[in-house]
Structure 1
Amino acid sequence: MSIPDRALLDWVEEAPTDRGLHFAGPGDSWEYHSYAELAELVLRTAEALRGAGVRDGEVVAIVQRSSPGFVATFFGAIAAGGTPCSIPPPFAFQRGAEYEAHAGHLLATARPAVVVCDQEAQQTVAALTEGLGLPGPLVFDALVEGVRPAPRPYPAAESALLQFTSGSSGASRGVLVSHAALRANVTAMRRWLGWRPEYPGITWLPVHHDMGLLGCMVNIVTTGCDGWMMQPEDFIRSPLRYLRCISDNKVGLAAMPNFGLAYILRRVRPADLEGLRFDAVRSVILGAERIDEQVLTRFEALLGPHGFDRRALLPAYGGAEATLAVTGLPLDEGWTSAVPEGDTGDAGRVVGCGRPLEGVSVSVQDDEGRPVPDGVVGEVVVRGASLATRYIDDSASLSGTELAGGELRTGDAGFLDDGQLYVLGRLGDGLKVRGRMVFAESLEARLHELGILQRRVAVLLGHHQGLPTGVVVLEKPDADWVERALPVLTEALGDAELLVARVPRGGLAVTSSGKPRRRVMWKALTEGRLTGEVHRPAPV
């Protein structure tokens, strides 16, 4: 059966009553909302936003957690002729000052006509909007109270979405995505996955992140399948609840970064899975960060005895400037790993991220913009129907990513092998050693294999005080982490200077989705502002 091309609001006119979204509640409870109920709420929200002053193409900033209200505000902004922009709510950040700086930057860049938030976020968000001279936030429940639904969606704006890059290489940048690009990318993802209404989906990813927003929520709703929606903290609190939900409801589709699989492996024992079955799982999309082949193997070993098929693990690659997905491993192929041409094995094997999706082309190019042969490392370059329109400001980015002329120069290093893309890391997060490039993400993957916890370590590479330098940043490290890390860096970096930075809890700079902000930390190091203790270790 072919997968139809559907516009973003088609589901509103065809909303069924027998399928919908299940939102995680306290304990093991779930709150169900049929698509018919959600469609009515979307049209109420659209009318409320028009009443609040939203006009054609104006930005609606959404500072809400995953909820029926978020779904209604996102699609309601589109139905009102506006352009939604999802901004993380305060819970996503541990420290208030960090949240204020990040969310303040996003709001200042987006300049929304209306800001919609949850009740618990109102006070924090109001302080930000007041300081920026923006309209005060509207609490969702009050916004829609007593409003009659619009009879139909208003004419669509030129841009369907304003979304922000992760900011792993500096400040997040806003990109505008057209309706055509968003529709093309969502359709390409659904066709890649063979996603039909009879296959339920599940997600715990935050809806302010493109993988959680577009890869999960928008795809689930657009497809019209049953969706099981958890908060990130629900998953962190009990990954077993997540797995039980998959088993009990025969969930077919899921998505998460490598960190999610690793977390399940740390928290779930084989005995915990007694009586659970995972035969229905067709695809677990893996993206947002480098994938560890050992984690995949161990995850297969944990769930395999309960019917899980290794071919359901689908590594993928994408980014905000490409709307979301660029490549993905085809169903039933099975993941593989490889090393680039001439690699000695120091960087470890790289898990393939699949092949270009429908309507997308990928090449790997040298510094002069010429395609390189298979196996040779270069910059990943993307073209296709799902590229974002443009950045919303002209500020420079530390990332090296460029979007112009129908082409996205990603700033990522990778290579092709038999049509499959293998991504090594950011071009600016590497160091040339003995005539070849070594990438920070490759070294971090090796450290994770040695038991140094993901999201508590980062490797920084560059030239410091005129010398090639590698820095391992450890957040509140265990006693033996330095001892484990130094041989890896010494072997990979040769005669480069080595530094160890021990930082306190929260001292590792990360994006809202948990990626290390390596260049931000590098800049702080070179300016003497890096929090914690930095020293040159004794030779190994």
Structure 2
Amino acid sequence: MSLVRALAEVAGRDTGHGIRLFRGDTEAEHVTYDQLYEEAGRLAQGLLERGVRRGERVAIALPTSIDFARALFGVWAAGAVAVPLPPPVRFASLDIHLRRIALAMRQSQVRVVLSDATLGRLIGPELGGQGGEFEVLDVARTAAATAHHLEVSDQEPGLVQYTSGTSAHPKGVVLSHANLLANVTAIGKALGVTEAEVSCSWLPLFHDMGLIGMLLTPALHGAQTLLLPPEDFLRDPGRWLRLISRHRATAATAPNSGYLYAMRKVTPSEVRGLDLSSWRVALNGAEAIDPDMLRRFSAHFAPAGFRPTAFLPVYGLAEGSLAVTFPPLGRPVRSLWVRRGPLADGVVEPVPEQAAGTVGTGGAGDGGVDAGGEGTARELVSVGHPVADTEVRLVAGPGGEPAGEGRVGEVQIRGAAVMSTYEAGEAANRGVVHADGWVSTGDLGLRHDGELFIVGRTKEVVIVFGQNYHASDIELVAGRVPGVANHAVLATSLATPDGEGLALVAETKESDPAVRAELVSQLRHAVSDAVGISPRKVVLARRGALPRTSSGKLQRHGIGALLDAEERAGE
């Protein structure tokens, strides 16, 4: 079955359900699934009339909108392959953005870009122009008077999902219709999704969590879908929660930073005006999961009826379409305390919960507790078991040997939803896609009581005096220091005359020299107290200065340039 055929089955049920787009607190547009199927067919006919061929890559550069859904299913109805790309971000450099997406489009050999009238006027002259290599089409003006839905095999490619590129340059993950449908089915099974579900999301639709988790999954289960543009969430995260409250939404997803932002911006008095009792599943993924934030969010929104058991910490990545592991529904979040020092060397030494009782200076649950005087401990969160038709294994060493009991290993995945190739082919696949179907994720994890716990990433280990420290662990501790803006910290190794040291770059809005000096001192103390290593260098950057991916995640491989710039400024 193709993705368009799956939409046709939903449309044929004529439930009246569909996608509703909100601007602020007001509904701006609504399309039912039967209307979406018809409109996708008319767009497909328009693309075919313009020479789009079966299997051709067609880029989609649109904001969160109904047009995005029309473009996505329209490309598929034309038998083409969708390449979702981020639209320009307000206040960001248009030149840098266009260079970034042009690289992806050239890799995918894109000829046609679907956009809207507003964005088309912005990017058209730059990407297209007179005799340009890309043709920018307005979705509304491309649709034909009649509809056509080309049938394709489910084994044909349907999507090229460019990864966010937090630790490497973005890669295009090629996913077939079968891959995507397998993941949508697995997510639906794990969450018990029915037509009665009401999904509410502000996540960007060009990113896998927003696209597959919060658009395709509810749509292909015939559920109601409420969409809010990410920029509206950033202006006022209370809008997202008010939508959940007013429309009795049952499912919503965000990364750790999204929940944190909502908790910090929505006041106790505003909480009392919400009713979140309908919210049955609050998925948390895409970033390191902070167990302390889960507890604090639950407490903050308890007066509105939010239940802690709604939280569902999950693990996934573009190479697996999206979802890889989910814990069971309806249970409290399960965590594991382990000794931090041995963990950095790949050894898992659990700490009894009662022993993890004396909390360090970072505050309750900062992951830096004293474990019986034998070193600090770190709290990890379970992300559960593999979803349907997916396998997970942990390997140690380049030969793919299984990581033994009590050892950290690299997470590898295999299954119906897992990709078989990157867009760039063999050069990108080497060392990632293995002959037996296993795909390396670059993530480090451990198993405890049969469940997966993510520790960090293989390329995010800071080595100082022969000791390994996970960068994400350091950043979690440093990000909680008051004065750090939105927990935005990156950690990296620093070459010094007497060996390798630790460097931190933290965003802050503080400008007073005395306050900044105190913040640097607090960052050094917090990391030293919790992790056992003192940063050699701490750089304070303005808010928004740290490099980020198109989906807003901190981008590790850009930190070196910031450190170099700071060094030059100090000369």
TM-score, length basis structure 1: 0.90
Query: Judging changes above 3 Å, is the alpha-carbon distance between structure 1 residues 199 and 27 closer, same or farther for their aligned structure 2 residues?
Result: closer
Secondary structure at the counterpart of residue 137 of structure 1? strand
Q: Note if contact 1:438-1:492 (Cα within 8 Å) is conserved in structure 2.
A: no
Cα RMSD of the aligned pairs, angstroms, is 2.7
Q: Does 1:458 align with 2:490?
A: yes
Deviation of residue 187 (structure 1)?
Answer: 0.6
Query: Judging changes above 3 Å, is the alpha-carbon distance between structure 1 residues 396 and 488 closer, same or farther for their aligned structure 2 residues?
Result: farther
**Superposed counterparts of 1:8-87, under 5 Å:** 9-15=5-11, 16=14, 18-25=16-23, 27-87=25-85
- Report the counterpart of residue 170 of structure 1 in structure 2: 168
CA displacement, residues 105-135 of structure 1 (integer Å, 9 cap, x when unaligned): 2222222132111222224433443499523
Q: Does 1:263 align with 2:261?
A: yes
Q: Does 1:470 align with 2:470?
A: no
Secondary structure at the counterpart of residue 147 of structure 1? coil
Distance in 2 (alpha carbons) for counterparts of 1:510 and 1:375: 34
Query: Judging changes above 3 Å, is the alpha-carbon distance between structure 1 residues 8 and 462 closer, same or farther for their aligned structure 2 residues?
Result: farther
Secondary structure at the counterpart of residue 106 of structure 1? helix
- Report the counterpart of residue 387 of structure 1 in structure 2: 418
Query: Judging changes above 3 Å, is the alpha-carbon distance between structure 1 residues 300 and 453 closer, same or farther for their aligned structure 2 residues?
Result: same
Deviation of residue 489 (structure 1)?
Answer: 3.2
Query: Judging changes above 3 Å, is the alpha-carbon distance between structure 1 residues 49 and 507 closer, same or farther for their aligned structure 2 residues?
Result: same
**Superposed counterparts of 1:238-249, under 5 Å:** 238-249=236-247
Letter in 2 for 1:142: R
CA displacement, residues 402-425 of structure 1 (integer Å, 9 cap, x when unaligned): 123211111111111112111122
Q: Does 1:236 align with 2:216?
A: no
Q: Does 1:362 align with 2:392?
A: yes
Distance in 1 (alpha carbons) for counterparts of 2:474 and 2:314: 21
Q: Note if contact 2:485-2:543 (Cα within 8 Å) is conserved in structure 1.
A: no
Deviation of residue 509 (structure 1)?
Answer: 0.9
Distance in 2 (alpha carbons) for counterparts of 1:376 and 1:350: 14
**Superposed counterparts of 1:488-507, under 5 Å:** 488-491=526-529, 498-507=536-545
- Report the counterpart of residue 349 of structure 2 in structure 1: 342
Deviation of residue 473 (structure 1)?
Answer: 0.6
Distance in 1 (alpha carbons) for counterparts of 2:90 and 2:181: 28
Distance in 2 (alpha carbons) for counterparts of 1:312 and 1:488: 31
List gaps (5 residues or longer) in structure 1. Answer: 536-540
CA displacement, residues 378-408 of structure 1 (integer Å, 9 cap, x when unaligned): 21111211111201115867x9971232111
Distance in 2 (alpha carbons) for counterparts of 1:505 and 1:275: 31
Deviation of residue 275 (structure 1)?
Answer: 4.4
Secondary structure at the counterpart of residue 171 of structure 1? coil
Secondary structure at the counterpart of residue 9 of structure 1? helix
- Report the counterpart of residue 199 of structure 2 in structure 1: 201
Deviation of residue 100 (structure 1)?
Answer: 2.3
Distance in 2 (alpha carbons) for counterparts of 1:209 and 1:347: 34
**Superposed counterparts of 1:84-163, under 5 Å:** 84-91=82-89, 94-130=92-128, 133-144=132-143, 146-150=144-148, 152-156=149-153, 158-163=156-161
Q: Note if contact 2:409-2:445 (Cα within 8 Å) is conserved in structure 1.
A: yes
Distance in 1 (alpha carbons) for counterparts of 2:531 and 2:276: 42
Deviation of residue 354 (structure 1)?
Answer: 1.7
Q: Note if contact 1:359-1:384 (Cα within 8 Å) is conserved in structure 2.
A: yes
- Report the counterpart of residue 286 of structure 1 in structure 2: 284
CA displacement, residues 319-348 of structure 1 (integer Å, 9 cap, x when unaligned): 111111111122022212223523766463
- Report the counterpart of residue 454 of structure 2 in structure 1: 423
Query: Judging changes above 3 Å, is the alpha-carbon distance between structure 1 residues 534 and 353 closer, same or farther for their aligned structure 2 residues?
Result: farther
CA displacement, residues 141-164 of structure 1 (integer Å, 9 cap, x when unaligned): 1111x53112x4333571011111
What is the aligned-residue identity percentage?
31
Greater CA drift, 399-408 or 246-255: 399-408
CA displacement, residues 283-306 of structure 1 (integer Å, 9 cap, x when unaligned): 111111001111100111122233
Distance in 2 (alpha carbons) for counterparts of 1:158 and 1:488: 51
Q: Note if contact 2:79-2:151 (Cα within 8 Å) is conserved in structure 1.
A: yes
CA displacement, residues 444-501 of structure 1 (integer Å, 9 cap, x when unaligned): 1112332323363211236566722211112345324312211233346656761122
Q: Note if contact 2:463-2:493 (Cα within 8 Å) is conserved in structure 1.
A: no
Query: Judging changes above 3 Å, is the alpha-carbon distance between structure 1 residues 214 and 14 closer, same or farther for their aligned structure 2 residues?
Result: closer
Letter in 2 for 1:356: P
Distance in 2 (alpha carbons) for counterparts of 1:475 and 1:401: 35
Query: Judging changes above 3 Å, is the alpha-carbon distance between structure 1 residues 206 and 277 closer, same or farther for their aligned structure 2 residues?
Result: same
- Report the counterpart of residue 302 of structure 1 in structure 2: 300
Deviation of residue 222 (structure 1)?
Answer: 0.7
Secondary structure at the counterpart of residue 362 of structure 1? strand
Distance in 2 (alpha carbons) for counterparts of 1:227 and 1:319: 22
Query: Judging changes above 3 Å, is the alpha-carbon distance between structure 1 residues 400 and 276 closer, same or farther for their aligned structure 2 residues?
Result: farther
- Report the counterpart of residue 538 of structure 1 in structure 2: none
Secondary structure at the counterpart of residue 403 of structure 1? coil
- Report the counterpart of residue 481 of structure 1 in structure 2: 519
Query: Judging changes above 3 Å, is the alpha-carbon distance between structure 1 residues 530 and 511 closer, same or farther for their aligned structure 2 residues?
Result: farther
Letter in 1 for 2:349: G
**Superposed counterparts of 1:365-444, under 5 Å:** 365-367=395-397, 368-394=399-425, 402-405=432-435, 406-432=437-463, 437-444=468-475
Q: Note if contact 1:364-1:377 (Cα within 8 Å) is conserved in structure 2.
A: yes
Distance in 2 (alpha carbons) for counterparts of 1:322 and 1:307: 34
Query: Judging changes above 3 Å, is the alpha-carbon distance between structure 1 residues 499 and 72 closer, same or farther for their aligned structure 2 residues?
Result: same
Q: Note if contact 2:394-2:412 (Cα within 8 Å) is conserved in structure 1.
A: yes
CA displacement, residues 154-211 of structure 1 (integer Å, 9 cap, x when unaligned): 3357101111111112310111111211111111111111011101101100011110
Query: Judging changes above 3 Å, is the alpha-carbon distance between structure 1 residues 175 and 228 closer, same or farther for their aligned structure 2 residues?
Result: same
Distance in 2 (alpha carbons) for counterparts of 1:463 and 1:395: 34
Q: Note if contact 2:197-2:218 (Cα within 8 Å) is conserved in structure 1.
A: no
Query: Judging changes above 3 Å, is the alpha-carbon distance between structure 1 residues 532 and 287 closer, same or farther for their aligned structure 2 residues?
Result: farther
Secondary structure at the counterpart of residue 441 of structure 1? helix
